[in-house]
Amino acid sequence: MILSDYGKKLTSKSGILQLMDDLGKAMSGQTKMLMLGGGNPAVIEEMQQTWLQEWERLQHDLSDFTASLAFYDTPQGSLKWRVALAELLRHRYAMPIDERNIVLTNGSQNAFFILFNLFSGRIGTQKRKVLFPLAPEYIGYADQSLDEGVFVSHPPKIELLESPFFKYHVDFDSLHLTDDVGLICVSRPTNPSGNVLTDSELRQLLTLARQHEVPLVVDNAYGAPFPGILFTEVTPFWEPGMILSMSLSKLGLPGLRTGIIIAEPEIIDVVSSAHAVMNLAGVNLGASLTMSLIKSGQILDLAQNVIKPYYFNLRNKALAHMHEAFAGRISYQVHLPEGALFLWVKFPELRITSRELYQHLKERGVLVVPGEYFFFGSDAPNPDAHCCVRLTYSQGEEVVAQAMPILAEVVEKYC
């Protein structure tokens, strides 16, 4: 098989592919594993009931049902749905938007591929870059650029909090934008660390982006106002200069592949064009299934009163199980889990790499994600890359409770 350079680039990351394969097998039940890897959202009973109700409603409305399944939508996605979302965000959060500021994509992952390749890569003899102002960042960005060497990431400032917690901050003192930066991107809440950039950090990044006339992408896959998996106060906002990315996945609908991009109309136009070239049209079902929840605003209540407390409770239980298994036995630190589904745990005395730790844990039936994968975009050594792992608590208390003592035992052996 002869693959093009792009073909090789898209298929060559064997470490990550192996990891995805392990995670996929564990999720499908092919191998019996305690699943602390992956980013699948939890199946929440009350949300399941909501989706079933909405599914029934759709079944009984023949014209909506037919439109969902039997027609290609416009490149921007359902007009009715975009009008409803824009109205909701305008009325509740004073976002200055209408339907022209929104495009639906086949999952937000698909939107990142489009955005990174529209705003970075070769322009004649120049190469434009994507800057991630706070590493570690979402593993799913790592292989999204078609050109080599376009990602640049910046190490954080680390604040030590009351033991065992620490928190990352954007290190603005050393963050200097070079002329070749074409896009800035942050996830908020951040996958993997569970960090939530403060409003002031986000505003400072937006100011920097505006000064350099490049867009700031804010990946809000877990954030406010929905799905609302964040445990600290933030102001949901969008302003010109920003590209706000949202998703229906972490509401419990990852199978419907619906991403939402909010941006200025000229950006929406180019993203829609690229999306049409790649996909012809989007998946209609995500918009149809959530239409009445968006129109009534009920989606915000579900995020606030069902999803947020569900994960908050799981997070607290996971921290308690971790403390019980680790305290007095191994040295560890945890990033303050302010949002998303993860605990980002540091073992400062670990003598092996996090990838080696991953292998040893896999042999013991526990899957985690090694920290190293989240530090793309920099060759500078970062100590956290080798001694951190990402653990998800979304698969339930029982899984976490069983896995933590095994984790403690394996880490103890290699410290």
Q: Is 249 in the site for ligand PLP (CB under 6 A)?
A: yes
Nearer to ligand PLP, 254 or 396 (CB): 254
Residue closer to ligand PLP by CB (options 396, 405) is: 396
Of the residues 221, 242, 261, 408, which one makes contact with ligand PLP according to CB under 6 A: 221
Q: Are strands 165-169 and 333-335 parallel, antiparallel or unpaired?
A: parallel
Task: Tally the C-alpha atoms within 13 A of residue 137's C-alpha that lie toward its C-beta.
Answer: 28
368 binds ligand PLP (CB under 6 A): no
What is the rounded distance in angstroms from the CA atom of residue 86 to the CA atom of residue 265? 13
**Residue 254 binds ligand PLP, judged by CB under 6 A:** yes
Q: Which of 263, 254, 308, 262 is nearest to 286 (CA)?
A: 254
Nearest distance in Å: CB 246, ligand PLP: 8
Within residues 97-126, the interface with ligand PLP by CB under 6 A covers 107-109
Nearest-approach distance from CB 178 to ligand PLP, in angstroms: 25
Verify binding: residue 39, ligand PLP, rule CB under 6 A. Answer: yes
According to DSSP, the residues that pair with 181 across neighbouring strands are: 129
Q: Which stretch binds ligand PLP (CB under 6 A): 54-62, 154-162, 178-186, 247-255?
A: 247-255
**H or E stretch at 91:** helix 79-93
Q: Closer CB to ligand PLP, residue 196 or residue 408?
A: 196
What's the DSSP call for residue 36? -
Distance CA 390, CA 58 (A): 38
Closer residue to ligand PLP in complex, CB, 257/410 = 257
Shortest gap between Cβ of 259 and ligand PLP (angstroms)?
Answer: 5
Indicate the residue among 75 and 107 with the shorter CB distance to ligand PLP. Answer: 107
Q: State how far the Cα of 312 lies from the Cα of 229, in Å rounded to an integer.
A: 8
Closest CA to 284 of 81, 144, 128, 142: 81
CA distance 19 to 94: 42
Residue 33 vs 253, nearer CB to ligand PLP = 253
Coil, helix or strand for 191? coil
Give the shortest CB-341-to-ligand PLP separation in angstroms.
8
C-alpha span between 195 and 161 (Å, rounded): 13
If one asks whether residue 22 binds ligand PLP (CB under 6 A), the answer comes out as: no
Greatest distance between any 2 Cα atoms in the chain = 63
Token pair for 404: 């933590």
Instruction: List the structure tokens of 356.
Output: 């080696």
Please tell me whether residue 138 binds ligand PLP under the rule CB under 6 A: yes
Question: Tokens for 44?
Answer: 């929440």
Q: How many CB atoms sit inside 10 A of residue 90's CB?
A: 14
Task: Examine residue 145 and tell whether it contacts ligand PLP (CB under 6 A).
Answer: no
Binding of ligand PLP by 300 (CB under 6 A) = no
Q: 246 or 350: whose CB is closer to ligand PLP?
A: 246
Q: How far is the CB of 113 from ligand PLP (least distance, A)?
A: 10
The count of chain residues that interact with ligand PLP, using the rule CB under 6 A, is 14
**How near is the Cβ of 268 to ligand PLP at its closest, in Å?**
17
Q: Are 126 and 180 in contact (CB under 8 A)?
A: yes
One residue of 144, 247, 333, 392 binding ligand PLP per CB under 6 A = 247
Site residues (CB under 6 A) for ligand PLP? 39, 107-109, 138, 140, 187, 191, 219, 221, 247, 249, 254, 259
